[in-house]
Structure 1
Amino acid sequence: MQASPEQSLAAPLSDRVREALAVTLRGCDELIPQDDWVKKLQKSQATGKPLRIKLGLDPTAPDIHLGHTVVLNKMRQLQDLGHTVIFLIGDFTSMIGDPSGRNTTRPPLTAEQIKQNAETYYKQASLVLDPAKTEIRYNSEWSDPLGARGMIQLAAKYTVARMMERNDFHQRFTAGTSIAVHEFLYPLMQGYDSVALQSDLELGGTDQKFNLLMGRHLQQEYGQEPQCILTMPLLEGLDGVDKMSKSKNNYVGISEDANTMFAKVLSISDELMWKWFTLLSFQSEAAITALKAEVQAGRNPKDAKVMLAKEITTRFHNAAAADAAEQDFINRSKGGIPDEIAEVNLPLAEGGGAQGIAVLLKMANLAASTSEGNRLIDGGGVRVDGSVVSDKGLKLAAGTYVLQVGKRKFARVTLA
């Protein structure tokens, strides 16, 4: 357990430094070393010079999800205290491929893939960060000019033995799984980013700790004051088990429509909700503690979950969209019809006859096939104008109908 700053530092903390430290520590996994960060905060207050806070993201996919925003939220909180936030796009390091947590070599991205992904990255991150106060950088700025000679000189500043202390490298070596030499370059290049940017604090997930410590080491090697590092917990996804990931399909994308975003947040467990509050909400810790006490005293936990869903949806859309999403969810939960649904015009059967319900489900993209449509009907998951369909032989004549599959899939079908 880390000693309190008052115990380890002679000078008492000002209210401003105390507040900044509390903001830094909220929800974090580790702050290393805490005493050094307090000294940096004190120096910043004394000189009026903002600290340089770095977050690097490799554009390995075009979309950002709520898991990514855990560190972005922390950046925004520190940004609001007046410090300089550096949003670093790892266009160079993406071509190497981050081996963190991998048991196989990560395929590097092409330059074209990186460019396409990077185009949307900052636009999405700006939904959290203040664009007017954010420094945007690309690590190809200093990595490309480094060249072969510079790369060799950089590699000389770290040993293979130290590199093999990294868990994923050690495990792969022990298991006889191949490790490509270029994978050793990734933590070196990420660490060199901190040298180039002269960062005071670098943020990352707990899986990035080795790479973040590399930045401290290399800054010392290059005669700079070493950065502090702040690791944030990895956010469990909708399943409450695995790290949020698009590949696990347990994610909430920040560019998803408001109704989907709201409904996804409401689907998490009551237990996971409180961790999401700590890591994703901008409410004060006192407010969250009070809300949790109300729930423990008997208040419906769904009330708290709705508050979280509305806050997140408002942040990435607006308050009106969040209100509409809440009403849409209520309508769906009651079997009601949302205000906005897909309008589909479909033909009648050959000769102008009525069309079978399973065929209509397929034609309206509510089922992948007629056989799946029949299975959905057997399961009681299909409604026409709010009434459950129990007869697979049902046929609909000319007219307009609202078809519903489950709680979330609707289409207003006009047959003619």
Structure 2
Amino acid sequence: MGNYIGINEPPQEMFGKIMSITDDLMRRYYELCTDMTPGEITTLFGVDDLLDNPVDLSNPAPEGKEHPRLLKVRLARRIVKDFYSEMEAETAEEEFNRIHQRKEAPEHIEERTVTSGSWKLPRLLVEVLLAPSMAEARRLIEQGGVYVDSERATRADYELELSEGRIVLIKVGKRRFLRVRGI
């Protein structure tokens, strides 16, 4: 289902998953996943009982309080640091910002090779294991979730010429990147 954060996942994956939790769950994560005292958590969120006094974290932070995004970054760094190190947490945060704020490709991207020639995009996605089936590949393309060299592929009949040595960057969804080289 993908709705969990594994304790043995890579730091970047862990950081990204923590950043994607909903604001209304953030306080609970602080309570369960950090060693902060209830008083420290109350200071962060500004209420004693979340059930009686819900905090609207979608609006700008009230005066004297931190913005929800900053709270999430602090939570992600804290949890990644607990399982890895401060340096790994900083690296994971930088990678997250590179991908999600600056819309750049990750620093390290896996590369796979395919036979050079003309490829229909759905077949290529299945070949390089970015989609489990042709039907799923077509669905991803038609929903606008596939990019080839930073350009959105919107047609399932998209054809790609991969000459020998040519490398293309394929992005599926928000976080799956792969370099594909023709051989």
TM range (shorter): 0.7 to 0.9
How do 1:14-413 and structure 2 match up within 5 A?
249-293=2-46, 295-297=61-63, 299-334=66-101, 335-348=103-116, 353-392=117-156, 393-398=158-163, 399-413=166-180
| 1:63-87, Cα deviation, whole Å (9 max, x unpaired) | xxxxxxxxxxxxxxxxxxxxxxxxx
Task: Give, in whole Å, the separation in 1 of the partners of 2:86 and 2:149.
Answer: 30
Task: Give, in whole Å, the separation in 2 of the partners of 1:251 and 1:362.
Answer: 25
Task: Give, in whole Å, the separation in 1 of the partners of 2:3 and 2:140.
Answer: 23
| 1:58-113, Cα deviation, whole Å (9 max, x unpaired) | xxxxxxxxxxxxxxxxxxxxxxxxxxxxxxxxxxxxxxxxxxxxxxxxxxxxxxxx
Task: Give, in whole Å, the separation in 2 of the partners of 1:344 and 1:323.
Answer: 28
Task: Give, in whole Å, the separation in 2 of the partners of 1:410 and 1:317.
Answer: 24
Unpaired runs of 5+ residues, structure 1, are 1-247
Q: CA deviation at 1:396?
A: 2.7
Contact 1:266 1:306 in 2 (8 A): yes
Q: CA deviation at 1:281?
A: 1.3
Task: Give, in whole Å, the separation in 2 of the partners of 1:389 and 1:331.
Answer: 22
Identity, in percent, stands at 32
| Aligned-partner residue type, residue 258 of structure 1 | P
Task: Give, in whole Å, the separation in 2 of the partners of 1:249 and 1:409.
Answer: 14
Contact 1:383 1:404 in 2 (8 A): yes
Task: Give, in whole Å, the separation in 2 of the partners of 1:397 and 1:280.
Answer: 46
| Aligned-partner residue type, residue 375 of structure 1 | R
Aligned residue pairs total: 165
Task: Give, in whole Å, the separation in 1 of the partners of 2:135 and 2:99.
Answer: 25
Task: Give, in whole Å, the separation in 2 of the partners of 1:397 and 1:256.
Answer: 33
Unpaired runs of 5+ residues, structure 2, are 47-59
Change (3 A) 1:249 1:394: closer
Task: Give, in whole Å, the separation in 2 of the partners of 1:388 and 1:286.
Answer: 47
Task: Give, in whole Å, the separation in 1 of the partners of 2:95 and 2:155.
Answer: 28
1:255 match: secondary structure: coil
Task: Give, in whole Å, the separation in 2 of the partners of 1:327 and 1:387.
Answer: 24
Q: CA deviation at 1:385?
A: 1.7
Q: Which TM-score applies when normalising by structure 2?
A: 0.80
Task: Give, in whole Å, the separation in 1 of the partners of 2:16 and 2:132.
Answer: 23
Q: CA deviation at 1:284?
A: 4.1
Task: Give, in whole Å, the separation in 2 of the partners of 1:388 and 1:290.
Answer: 44
Q: CA deviation at 1:311?
A: 0.4
Of Structure 1 and Structure 2, the greater helix share is in: 1
| 1:14-50, Cα deviation, whole Å (9 max, x unpaired) | xxxxxxxxxxxxxxxxxxxxxxxxxxxxxxxxxxxxx
Q: CA deviation at 1:286?
A: 4.0
Q: CA deviation at 1:315?
A: 0.8
| 1:169-222, Cα deviation, whole Å (9 max, x unpaired) | xxxxxxxxxxxxxxxxxxxxxxxxxxxxxxxxxxxxxxxxxxxxxxxxxxxxxx
Task: Give, in whole Å, the separation in 1 of the partners of 2:153 and 2:177.
Answer: 14
Contact 1:357 1:396 in 2 (8 A): no
